[in-house]
Amino acid sequence: MGSLPIAVSGSTVNSGGCRWWGWCNKNNSSGKSGSNGSGSSDSCANSSAFVFFLVSFVCLASIAGLYCRVLLPPNVHTTLSSLGCNEDNEGSWSIGVYYGDSPFNLKPIEEANVWRNNTAAWPVANPVVTCASASGASFPSNFVADPFLYVQGDILYLFFEAKNSITMQGDIGVARSTDKGATWEQLGVALDEDWHLSYPYVFDYNGNIYMMPEGSAKGDLRLYRAVKFPTEWKLEKVIMKKPLVDSFIIQHDGKYWLFGSDHSGIGAKKNGQLEIWYSSSPLGPWKPHKKNPIYNTDKSKGARNGGRPFLYDGHLHRAGQDCGETYGRRLRLFKIEALTPTDYKEVEVPLGLKESMKGRNAWNGARSHQLDVQQLSSGEWVAVMDGDQVPSGDVNRRFILGCASVLGVVMLVIVFGMLLGAVKGLVPLSWCPHNVGKRSDASFDWERSSLLSNRMRLFCSRLNRASSSLRARIKPKTCSGGWVLAVIFIVTVVLMCTGVKYIYGGSGAEEAYPLNGQYSQFTLLTMTYDARLWNLKMYVKHYSRCSSVRELVVVWNKGQPPELSELDSAVPVRIRVEEQNSLNNRFKVDPLIKTRAVLELDDDIMMPCDDVERGFKVWREHPERIVGFYPRLADGNPLKYRAENHAREHNGYNMILTGAAFMDSKMAFEKYWSKEAAAGRAVVDKLFNCEDVLLNYLYANASSSSTVEYVKPAWAIDTSKFSGVAISRNTQTHYGLRSSCLQKFSEMYGSISSRKSEFHHRNDGWDV
């Protein structure tokens, strides 16, 4: 049977009802159906809308790809282990060590100035146990958390939750340290069950060692006894038929007390509930406290336990988790003032630990939710604490925001196309219920009587008329319309880059790179004067937040130095005021520097923290070299100072600019201020130039092997161009002076023209 007419005329359908992006061919305007279907498809393929969308998304994809390549730091965890360290929605937890003369005066291990030469850690820095540590010991882990110590003489055992990358459940790992926690030997998995385990609380009782891990997924609380400590454990007893989380047992006033949270009960507030039981033995039976639940309150109040309680100055102290902003956001500490079967009272006291100001660049910048602090036989206190760089659920959040950004891009591209005239409507023809090809009489009868069909037809018409209405209002050919198009384009590009950043760019943390499983820190040193204060303020704010920066030293050569309060820094800043304005001051021996590594970095160079961290890792691999970001080649007869382009044309370099380079703080400075370098320093003072050239010569003169190493930065900006206080404005004159220096230094210390390091000789690919 043939097609029957419908209520909407053919002209109405074409002008607004169902004409979509110019994809409907003209034969359909009459309302006929059947033989014109293939012609319509051909028209779709050749339409201006199709070309517009193709070109738009290719351009946006190119911009997003360039943004990813240049501006997004790599996800460091993906380079740590081929087995574990996968991005996990629960976080990227790791474990750090702290020391102090009391539990209220704890400082991270890097401030104890512990050096480990065999691990290139000068000094050792937190975190000391990571997912890579566990994965390297053949039990792949996405993160490590919930640390508990067990002390046997001078040996520390560390028990922790390891999120298994394969089963995606928690197992209990164990490590051993013989140097108070500076280095850890991974011993493997201590306990593995068919359900999730965490919070491995370990304690002594009657000559035995017990572990009480959280296993709430099983629905009860279990006690395990060590059969062969620390890696073999046997189930001793199910001590409570409740799915308690983060529980511990302590002895106080002749009784044993069990603290834990049961979030499964009716009305129990997750992460805001705490209950107490008591017994004459850790094996039970357990009686409930009269005031149970002790807390059933807001999750930020610290009700959920956050580690082992400790006794100090005659008082018990309990750590609790503040889960207000995100799960495990921070620790709160409480002094227990009353603990009896009928009464419980605690008051909050300061923990005494400063939060890092480095944000996600700090290993514990976003969260820290468990502490175990114990006193050693020496009287010193040692603590382990976990930390994370991202909040809970960060992976899901980024994916949702990324998809929302991409959806916004699609909508703006459609609007942009409508304003240009390439997109004629919003709803495709095939979506309209009255234009679906050959239909039966029953179909048309249903369509006439269907209220939903009529409303959809009306909705299609109104949507598609919006295109011409929008063009009539904004008028893209006018000046104001052009501005609207420009704004839409800019917002589209920003949204596209934002979406890619959320989906592809990782957590946004510019993390440190470990070497041999250890982290370290360096001192950042820059030289400046009063006319460049604007540069310095921006420089300090940016670089002080890089993960491995320990301290920032400002060598002040001229004018009135700023007050420290004027500088927004996440690390200590020390301003060293010099009496004489000399470039030689850059390499002055400084006994107050606490790290072996120094990054000499001009105050007008801005680059990502990730570039800095990559350079630091390469220097730790070659601490006898100058490792930097700007290669130069001195060659020719007579010697000439050549830029990076010339070095790349000749596939080699023999100098590294020390205005952006890592070096050994002791070796480099002592070389520079030796008697042999006195004549060279005089040349530097005379020309007010070439101090970096001199140091390169001194390194080369002292070694027959390679003395320079290049790391390519993703990008770098010269901020002096914005402030107008560049030191070397005339490049030709500047290069001429440096060529003169080359010739003078060659006469003093021997030529370096024959020493050439090639680009792209390392496996890391960072020297291309």
Q: Is the pLDDT of residue 265 over 50?
A: yes
The alpha-helical segments, DSSP class H, found in 421-450 are 441-449
pLDDT, tens only, 93-120:
999 999 999 999 999 999 999 999 889 9
For residue 479, give every residue at least 6 positions away whose Cβ sits within 8 Å of its Cβ, in sequence order, or none: none
646-677: b or e for each residue (b if 16 or more CB lie within 10 Å)?
bbeeeebbbbbbbbbbbbbbeebbebbeeeeb
Neighbours of 633 (CB within 10 A): 25
Q: Is the pLDDT of residue 34 over 70?
A: no
Hunting for tokens 């051909």 — which residue is that? 42
pLDDT, tens only, 356-370:
999 999 999 999 999
Q: Which residues pair with 577 in a beta bridge?
A: 556
DSSP per residue, 565-633: GGS--SS-EEEEE-SS--GGGGG---TT--SSEEEEE-TTEE--HHHHHHHHHHHHH-TTSEEES-EEE
Q: What's the rounded mean pLDDT across residues 303-308?
A: 98
Please give the Cα distance from 224 to 209 (Å, whole number).
9
pLDDT, tens only, 567-614:
999 999 999 999 999 999 999 999 999 999 999 999 999 999 999 999
Catalytic residue from among 692, 718, 764, 767: 692
Q: What's the rounded mean pLDDT across residues 306-323?
A: 97
pLDDT, tens only, 519-551:
999 999 999 998 888 889 999 999 999 999 999
For residue 754, give every residue at least 6 positions away whose Cβ sits within 8 Å of its Cβ, in sequence order, or none: none
Q: Which of 760, 743, 740 has the alpha carbon at shortest distance from 751?
A: 743
Q: Is the pLDDT of residue 447 over 60?
A: no
Q: What type of residue is 505?
A: G
Q: Is the pLDDT of residue 263 over 70?
A: yes
Four-residue CA torsion sign, 756, 757, 759, 761: positive
Q: What's the rounded mean pLDDT across residues 391-403?
A: 95
Hunting for tokens 């510019």 — which residue is that? 510
What is residue 59's predicted lDDT score, i.e. its pLDDT? 93
Report residue 443's pLDDT band, with 50, 70 and 90 as the boundaries.
low
Q: Which of 200, 198, 172 has the alpha carbon at shortest distance from 186?
A: 172
Report residue 505's pLDDT band, with 50, 70 and 90 as the boundaries.
confident
Mean pLDDT value across the chain: 88
Read off the pTM: 0.88
What is residue 14's predicted lDDT score, i.e. its pLDDT? 41
The answer to which of 45-59, 461-475, 550-564, 735-749 has the lowest mean pLDDT is 461-475
Q: Is residue 229 exposed (0-12), middle (13-18) or buried (19+ Cβ within 10 Å)?
A: middle
What is residue 19's predicted lDDT score, i.e. its pLDDT? 40
Catalytic site residue 692?
yes
How is the beta sheet containing 371-375 ordered, strand by strand?
A: 106-108, 94-100, 381-387, 371-375
Q: Is the pLDDT of residue 503 over 80?
A: yes
The H-or-E segment that residue 454 falls in is helix 451-474
Q: Which residue has the higher pLDDT, 373 or 29?
A: 373
With beta carbons less than 8 A apart as the criterion, state whether 539 and 526 touch: yes
Neighbours of 490 (CB within 10 A): 10
pLDDT, tens only, 670-729:
999 999 999 999 999 999 999 999 999 999 998 888 999 999 998 899 887 665 555 555
Please give the Cα distance from 603 to 505 (Å, whole number).
28
What is residue 158's predicted lDDT score, i.e. its pLDDT? 98
pLDDT, tens only, 477-492:
889 888 999 999 999 9
Q: What's the rounded mean pLDDT across residues 295-306?
A: 97
With beta carbons less than 8 A apart as the criterion, state whether 630 and 604 touch: no
What is residue 328's predicted lDDT score, i.e. its pLDDT? 96
With beta carbons less than 8 A apart as the criterion, state whether 78 and 85 touch: yes
Q: What type of residue is 332?
A: R
Q: Which two three-digit tokens encode residue 738?
A: 């440096």
Q: Is the pLDDT of residue 442 over 60?
A: no
Please give the Cα distance from 521 to 721 (Å, whole number).
30
DSSP per residue, 303-334: -SB-B--EEETTEEEEEEEE-SSSTT-EEEEE
Three-state SS at 678: helix
pLDDT, tens only, 191-244:
999 999 999 999 999 999 999 999 999 999 999 999 999 999 999 999 999 999
Three-state SS at 672: helix
Please give the Cα distance from 563 to 169 (Å, whole number).
52
Q: How many residues does the chain have?
A: 768
Four-residue CA torsion sign, 720, 723, 725, 728: positive
With beta carbons less than 8 A apart as the criterion, state whether 630 and 673 touch: no
